[in-house]
Amino acid sequence: RKEVEQDPGPFNVPEGATVAFNCTYSNSASQSFFWYRQDCRKEPKLLMSVYSSGNEDGRFTAQLNRASQYISLLIRDSKLSDSATYLCAVNIDSWGKFQFGAGTQVVVTP
């Protein structure tokens, strides 16, 4: 099993709809989780951290399920500009080493 796995998609989402996807991780000792957004041929940019109790940032909601070892990202009221690849990042040791998933592609259509 890979350390961090994501459904590659693409998730084709009509504008205004809601989309959600998960990222599973194998290391039960992982403590830090992040969602990054990567546009085509660009660098990843932090979207949001994922906190134990779940957190929201505008239209984006992140959740952590420790028991099942996954994090999720939900995007409400999708905009065309949300089209991107969403990478999850999970720390796999205490030395700042993060493992990234291969990303989930989201395509928002008019």
- In this chain, which of 24, 63, 72, 91 binds other proteins, going by CB under 8 A? 91
> What are residue 80's phi and psi, to 5 degrees?
-55, -35
Binding characters for other proteins, 39-78, by CB under 8 A (x = yes): --xxxxxx--x-----------------------------
- In this chain, which of 1, 28, 53, 96 binds other proteins, going by CB under 8 A? 96
Beta strand pairing status for 19-25 and 55-57?
A: unpaired
17 vs 90 by CB, closer to other proteins:
90
Least Å from the CB of residue 77 to other proteins: 25
User: CA-CA distance, 45 to 35, in Å (whole number)?
Assistant: 9
Under 8 Å between Cβ of 100 and 6:
no
Per DSSP, the residues of 52-100 read TT-EEETTEEEEEETTTTEEEEEE-S--GGG-EEEEEEEE-STTS-EEE
Least Å from the CB of residue 22 to other proteins: 17
Instruction: By CB under 8 A, name the binding residues for other proteins.
Output: 31-32, 34, 36, 41-46, 49, 85, 87, 89, 91, 94-100, 102-103
